[in-house]
Amino acid sequence: MKSICLFSSYFQGGEIPYYVKVYLEELGNYFEEVVLLTNEKVLGEKEGEYLAKHAIKLRLYDNEGMDFGMWHKALNEFKEVDYDRIGLINDSCILLKSLQPFFDWVNLSSLDYAGMIATGKVSLHIQSYFLVVNKNAIGHVRRFFEVNGIKKTYKGIIMNYEIGLSEYLLAKDMKIGGYYDYSARKDVNPAFILAGELIKKGSPIIKKKILSHTYYVGDYLTWFRNNFIIDHRYYVALIKDVCKGNLIVDIDKVVLEVQGGASLSYIRKYNFGLAVYKILSKSFILKFIFHQLILLRRRLRKEEK
């Protein structure tokens, strides 16, 4: 099977992050070619030696259109080869353990377009941080990228690419599916709100934001509504317990690398806000006012959701 993985990663400086290297090396077990796509920079000599050692190709692109922008450019560059499988994966997740169970599932399925999670939020779609495009769907995916081009806004990328691509493939009678099927859940983003449940189910990845706390202000309204646990230490402890003996990454090292999680004071403030929300939510008027204040703050900061 001729296969290629296009791994999109944005990072500063000339060193490839540790958690990215762990991810790249594991992906090399399932794809004949692995290509690291990142923003234009000068990598150190040791990083070049590392890429050569693991037969990982490097492509540097202008940072536009986020991961889909990089995939768009790479799909144009690697379009001449007749691939049987293309992986579109990004660094927004931390890889915890082997991907073998996932790829065993993909290989036994008849899916044309598969991912880690299928969600019903907005409409049925495969969440875009981990996508596997099999032969029947490759031509459709290439055409979709050609027609839609590079989107510049976060909202445009989510609506046109993450959600739109799944809708487009379904319209072309392609079979799509997620290893973890939350297609019946239209109320939450499973990768975040159900992160603890996913770890318990054996998920090999966790969203990086959960460890780094690089949330948008507007996220907190969703977190409060769903009683979300924001303390990264809870997830680290859960990972160590559930993945005991199977971890392929030093999770404590990762937490430090992605800025060390949240401070105790930050966590206390969040928990206080959550407690206040629970009290206010018992009153429709107070809950409405609270929601409007958060939405106003979101608009003032021009966050696109």
Map out the domains of the chain with their CATH numbers.
1-186 (3.90.550.10), 189-305 (no CATH)
Q: Let me know: does 22 contact 96? Beta carbons within 8 Å.
A: no
Encode pLDDT of 93-127 as tens digits: 999 999 999 999 999 999 999 999 999 988 999 99
CA distances to 67, 121, 154, 207, 291 from 247, rounded to whole Å, are 26, 30, 32, 16, 40
pLDDT reported for residue 218:
67
* Rounded Cα–Cα distance for residues 249 and 206 (Å): 12
What percentage of the chain reaches a pLDDT higher than 90?
Answer: 66
Q: Which two tokens stand for residue 85?
A: 């499988």
Q: Let me know: does 88 contact 7? Beta carbons within 8 Å.
A: no
pLDDT reported for residue 296:
67
Q: Let me know: does 154 contact 213? Beta carbons within 8 Å.
A: no
Residue 301 pLDDT > 80, yes or no?
no
pLDDT reported for residue 58:
97
* Rounded Cα–Cα distance for residues 44 and 14 (Å): 5
Q: What is the mean pLDDT of the chain?
A: 90
Question: CA nearest 89: which of 125, 121, 116?
Answer: 116
Type of residue numbered 139: G
* Rounded Cα–Cα distance for residues 296 and 284 (Å): 18
In which residue are the tokens 């404590």 written?
252
